[in-house]
Amino acid sequence: MKTSRRSSVDPFIVMDVAQQAARMEADGRHVIHMEIGQPATPAPQGARAALSRQLDGDPLGYTVALGLPALRQGIADLYRRWYGVDLDPARIIVTSGSSGAFLLTFTALFDTGARVGVAAPGYPSYRQILKALGLTPVDIPTDAAHGHHMRPEDVPSDLDGLIVASPGNPTGTILDGPHLNALMDHCDAHDIAFISDEIYHGLHYGDRAISALELGAPYVINSFSKYFSMTGWRVGWMVVPEDHVRTVERLAQNMFICAPHVSQVAALTALECEAEMEDNRAVYAANRKLLLEGLPKAGFDRFAPPDGAFYIYADVSHLTDDSRAFAAQILSETGVAVTPGLDFDPARGHHTLRFSYAGATSDMALGLERLADFMARQPVLAKM
């Protein structure tokens, strides 16, 4: 049978790296995971306990497509605590992870052929979801010299939409209020739909990230995956304008029916577990410090220090012209899994690697030791 042109999307390379790492582990190798963007910690203890109690007496069938009312209210309360925003919970739609929110957002806002701007480097699945929906991703290059800040002058005026992540993946860049405002003003002036991806909110190492909702953005996407340590639970949310709720609800009813009920139950209590999450953030801060000091000593010294998330995105153009082969060599010889930059920037990613520091501090320290040993064995900065 033939396949559609829309299905011809690129692989998510980090998942290929993770699969190879899993094969090595199955063969008895010890692997340090610096590739996957997920916390090494489980969902909050209180969330797991709440779900365990509910499993005994609740069949946990379908919820309404918009999500459990109590969870939507809890998320609205979170916006009040974190940002001082008085948000109507009716504007909140609970989704099957942020990925479900991206599908719903792109489908609700754009017709086939629409052009949507994405940062390069940026989260790779934006491009692939857009392609699978018959939309056209438009890369907007950023660079370390400007802290990977997307600027209004970088954004083409003929776009139909723009998605901006702060903190960003893979760079960890946080856009402050003036930067976000300038981008939103540019989009307003050119009738470009502005979408804010905020799934790394809560993970900052200086000033907190500004929510675009504070500045009046109509579409905001977030998730319980990162700060709340619930990647595999697949539960996120989106905030949409009041007059778009029914449109998105109809799409959600048909595409997903609802987000997983069990995950929604856990997420509701996770909102009350910020003390545990802050302990996790302290670990990421310690790991960040470790990598900021250790990576340059190992020979990976070309990067902009991240403001948030849990990644360092390094230029390795002095070491290789093929980041995918280089990452494979590192994994094979050291047992340290890292992500080639091709995932994040198809044009320039041959020369970059992403290091995730979401794991245990002891693992990060051991990973740095292995990387330093590996680099010490290489020819003097000879490209592969």
Using one digit for the tens of pLDDT, what is the confidence trace for 110-155? 999 999 999 999 999 999 999 999 999 999 999 988 889 999 999 9
pLDDT higher than threshold 80 for residue 384: no
User: Nearest-5° angle of CA 198, CA 337, CA 137?
Assistant: 40
- Among the listed residues 328, 369, 380, 343, the one whose alpha carbon sits nearest the alpha carbon of residue 121: 343
Q: What is the pLDDT of residue 305?
A: 94
The pTM of this model reads: 0.94
Largest CA distance in the chain: 64
Tens digits of per-residue pLDDT, 200-224?
999 999 999 999 999 999 999 999 9
CB 353 within 8 A of CB 338: yes
Task: Pick the more confident residue, 59 or 270.
Answer: 270
pLDDT higher than threshold 70 for residue 162: yes
CB 337 within 8 A of CB 21: yes
261-277 average pLDDT score: 96
Q: Which two tokens stand for residue 170?
A: 């893979």
**pLDDT band at residue 379, thresholds of 50, 70 and 90?**
confident
Q: Which long-range contacts link 242-248 to residues 24+ away (Cβ below 8 Å)?
A: 242/88, 242/90, 242/91, 244/108, 244/218, 245/66, 245/90, 245/91, 245/93, 247/108, 248/93, 248/104, 248/105, 248/108
User: Nearest-5° angle of CA 363, CA 365, CA 366?
Assistant: 65
**pLDDT band at residue 374, thresholds of 50, 70 and 90?**
very high
pLDDT higher than threshold 90 for residue 77: yes
Q: Between the CA of residue 367 and those of 14, 83, 331, 342, what are the distances in Å? A: 17, 36, 11, 22
Q: What is the chain's mean pLDDT, rounded? A: 95
**pLDDT band at residue 56, thresholds of 50, 70 and 90?**
confident
Distance CA(105)–CA(163), nearest Å, equals: 10
Q: What is the pLDDT of residue 380?
A: 55
Q: List, in sequence order, every residue forming a beta bridge with 116; answer none if it has no partner.
A: 137, 161
182-187 average pLDDT score: 98
Q: What is the pLDDT of residue 11?
A: 84
Q: What is the pLDDT of residue 383?
A: 47
Distance CA(324)–CA(326), nearest Å, equals: 5
pLDDT higher than threshold 90 for residue 381: no
Distance CA(239)–CA(231), nearest Å, equals: 20
246-257 average pLDDT score: 98
242-254 average pLDDT score: 98
170-180 average pLDDT score: 97
In the chain, % of residues over pLDDT 90: 91
pLDDT higher than threshold 70 for residue 272: yes
Task: Pick the more confident residue, 43 or 380.
Answer: 43
C-alpha neighbours within 13 Å on the C-beta side of residue 301: 8
292-305 average pLDDT score: 96
Q: Left, alpha or beta for 252 (phi > 0: left; psi -120 to 50: alpha)?
A: alpha
95-104 average pLDDT score: 97
Q: What is the pLDDT of residue 230?
A: 97
